[in-house]
Chains A and B, each alone.
Chain A
Amino acid sequence: MGSKNAMVISASPHIYNDQSTASLVWSVIGCLVPAGVWGAYVYGFGSLFVLAVAIGASVMAELAMGLAFRRFTLADGTAVLTGLLIGYGMPPAVPWYIPASAAVFAIVVVKWTFGGLGSNWMNPALAGRVFASLSWGDAMTSWVIPKTLTGVEGVSGATPLGFIKSALTDASGVGSPMEILKVNGYIQSGADSGVTGWLNANLLNPLGIQLPGGYFDLFAGNVPGCIGEISAILLLLGAVYLIARDVIAWEIPAAYIGSFIVLVWAFGGMRFGSGLGEGDALFALFSGGLILTAFFMATDPVTSPLGRRGLWIFGIGCGLLTFLIRYYGSFPEGAAFAVLIMNIFVPIIDKATKPTRLSQTSRGIRDRNAASPDPASVKPAVGIHAAGTGGAR
């Protein structure tokens, strides 16, 4: 290692601007913080401990692997981000060794055996989360009802998606997702009926729409679920900032959520005994970890395609798989699996959407297709730009 600023490690595409990987990653972390604060508020102090364990284990693993391979990348913040995302994907009352193992698995196996930041082909945080839910199925599906719903901390209960899945599995629930929740005695907050009533009276009823109760709780994150994934509104605020700053590619969430919503609207109703075009897209959008996964995990530049067309294909694939797993599979939430499966296809997508010389236009550096390097001849995921004196790796 040479002087402190001998090199800048940055994710592809290798377009020069003044944003380093570290500043991008720390801004993503910053945009994630509000959702975590909300999770800690509604689930109590224990969820902060889960987050701390996940981040701590992730940073320790990164440090150990950096020592082993003599490549120190702790300062770029990706280890903290991986740990944070793993913590966000954990139930609030999970035993400490589960986030710790998930973080170590993510950093050591998924990231460092491939050579560290930029060389891994699978998203470490999602792989760690799936590893944990497959290894400790019971602990990873014991949820806590927010204290804002019950008034006391630590009451356990199922997530909305969990209720839906068990109703579908034992074929007891026919009716819309919201009806299934109501039959199962699912609690709605006073805030929800207040806001829904106000919206109906002042905005929706004049348009001829009647919004049933329960959606505001989902939107605001007043539901049982993983620590960081429940509050759609806070996650969306962060995501809007990141998209405006061009930190994350808007194509992936647009394609992912767009295709998912269309599929749910068109075919989602059929699993609940209603017809084509009667699926509850609003419920599907704000329940589970879709928002967190689509905006903050699927957009990981290392494990998503390079070209603009590739981003769309990747996003649509994620949407299709999430729909299939959520509505037909045995897991309540399919977002993590969907992105992991599409990670496998990224090299193929990159190869298939490789731009030809002719398409190389002068549309400027925002054109990802024109700027993306040939994946076969250039190191595909990470570039080390020598800024200043050349540093040895």
Chain B
Amino acid sequence: MTYIGIILVFTLINNVVFSQLLGTCEFVCEPGNALRKLRLGISISAVASITAAVIWVVFHGLLRPLSAEILLLPSVILVAVAVTAVFTRFTHLLSPGLDVALGDSFALMFANCVVVAVALSGIRSDYTILQSLVAGGAAGLGFMLASFLLSSVKERLDVGDVPETFQGAPIMFISAGLMALAFMAFDRALLVNLVG
């Protein structure tokens, strides 16, 4: 698959939020401004890319020669946690305010969902190491797109008439679900016919 194809798959077709329902904890529970979403998206891109590449090395260099493919999932989680820890330490040194700005869920969600999912699907789709890197970056882009769309809808809902029962997380889940419904139009056939 071409790199453009991978980028389209992970931003539109297999969007982490709309088609895999990952990372929803972030925008549903945490309010935040555009800058914070941007930082988070870039961070996820970076961590997902690095994790996917490291996992590729671990899988093809270690697990497969040892016929220990069954250990893929635990190693993905270990690598994701390690990469996240190194990354947060690194960003803390570079810009001390950043991890405070990103909040508590920062480290937690990395190891939880988006990163693990991208690393796993990279292995399952037999990507090369470069393709895994691109996929990780594109997953972060897809997350950014979803959180951007949802926060713009949220701004409108905040001044709207949402009943008390549905305010906050419920209406964001419903909005995300409706967006997922519309995003069903972007499927693999569209991608294959467009970019081959």
B94 on interface, CB distance cutoff 8 Å: no
Most chain A CB inside 10 Å of its own CB: which residue of B153, B161, B188, B194: B161
Question: Considering the chains assembled together, what is the distance between the CA atoms of A381 and B156 in angstroms?
Answer: 9
B189 on interface, CB distance cutoff 8 Å: yes
The reply to whether A121 and B181 contact each other, CB–CB distance below 8 Å, is no
Could you say which residues of chain B place their CB within 8 Å of the CB of A110?
Answer: 178
The reply to whether A351 and B152 contact each other, CB–CB distance below 8 Å, is yes
Residue on B nearest A118 in the bound complex, by CB = B161
Task: Out of B161, B170, B187, name the residue touching A115 (CB < 8 Å).
Answer: B161
* Given contacts A324-B194, A329-B193, A347-B152, A130 and B162 within 8 Å (CB-CB): no
Residue on A nearest B186 in the bound complex, by CB = A329
Residue on B nearest A116 in the bound complex, by CB = B161
Question: Considering the chains assembled together, what is the distance between the CA atoms of A382 and B182 in angstroms?
Answer: 23
Question: Considering the chains assembled together, what is the distance between the CA atoms of A127 and B174 in angstroms?
Answer: 12
* Given contacts A113-B171, A329-B193, A344-B179, A121 and B157 within 8 Å (CB-CB): yes
The reply to whether A121 and B156 contact each other, CB–CB distance below 8 Å, is yes
Residue on B nearest A337 in the bound complex, by CB = B185
Question: Considering the chains assembled together, what is the distance between the CA atoms of A330 and B187 in angstroms?
Answer: 7
A122 on interface, CB distance cutoff 8 Å: yes
Residue on B nearest A122 in the bound complex, by CB = B178
Could you say which residues of chain B place their CB within 8 Å of the CB of A321?
Answer: 185
Could you say which residues of chain A place their CB within 8 Å of the CB of B184?
Answer: 130, 134, 337
The reply to whether B152 and A114 contact each other, CB–CB distance below 8 Å, is no
Most chain A CB inside 10 Å of its own CB: which residue of B166, B185, B189: B185
Question: Considering the chains assembled together, what is the distance between the CA atoms of A338 and B185 in angstroms?
Answer: 8
B159 on interface, CB distance cutoff 8 Å: yes
Most chain B CB inside 10 Å of its own CB: which residue of A131, A343, A348, A351: A348
Task: Out of B157, B161, B174, B186, name the residue touching A109 (CB < 8 Å).
Answer: B174
Task: Out of A271, A329, A347, name the residue touching B153 (CB < 8 Å).
Answer: A347
Interface residues on chain B, number (Cβ under 8 Å): 30
Could you say which residues of chain B place their CB within 8 Å of the CB of A118?
Answer: 161
Chain A contact residues, majority secondary structure? helix
Question: Considering the chains assembled together, what is the distance between the CA atoms of A14 and B19 in angstroms?
Answer: 37
CB distance from B118 to the nearest CB of A (A): 23
Binary B-proximity of A328-352 (CB < 8 A = 1, otherwise 0): 1111001001101101110110010
Could you say which residues of chain B place their CB within 8 Å of the CB of A377?
Answer: 159
Residue on B nearest A321 in the bound complex, by CB = B185
The reply to whether A344 and B193 contact each other, CB–CB distance below 8 Å, is no
A39 on interface, CB distance cutoff 8 Å: no
Could you say which residues of chain B place their CB within 8 Å of the CB of A380?
Answer: 156, 159-160
Within B143-196, the residues touching A (CB, 8 Å) are 149, 152-153, 155-157, 159-163, 166, 170-171, 174-175, 178-179, 181-190, 193-194
> Other CB < 8 Å A-B pairs besides A325-B190, A329-B190, A379-B159, 6 of them?
A113-B163, A113-B170, A134-B184, A330-B190, A375-B156, A381-B160
Hey, which bits of chain A sit against chain B, CB under 8 A?
A: 69, 109-110, 112-116, 118-119, 121-122, 127, 130-131, 134, 169, 271, 321, 324-325, 327-331, 334, 337-338, 340-341, 343-345, 347-348, 351, 375-382
Hey, which bits of chain B sit against chain A, CB under 8 A?
A: 149, 152-153, 155-157, 159-163, 166, 170-171, 174-175, 178-179, 181-190, 193-194
Q: What are the 8 A-B residue pairs with the smallest beta carbon separation, nearest first?
A: A115-B161, A337-B185, A330-B189, A340-B182, A328-B193, A329-B190, A119-B161, A347-B152
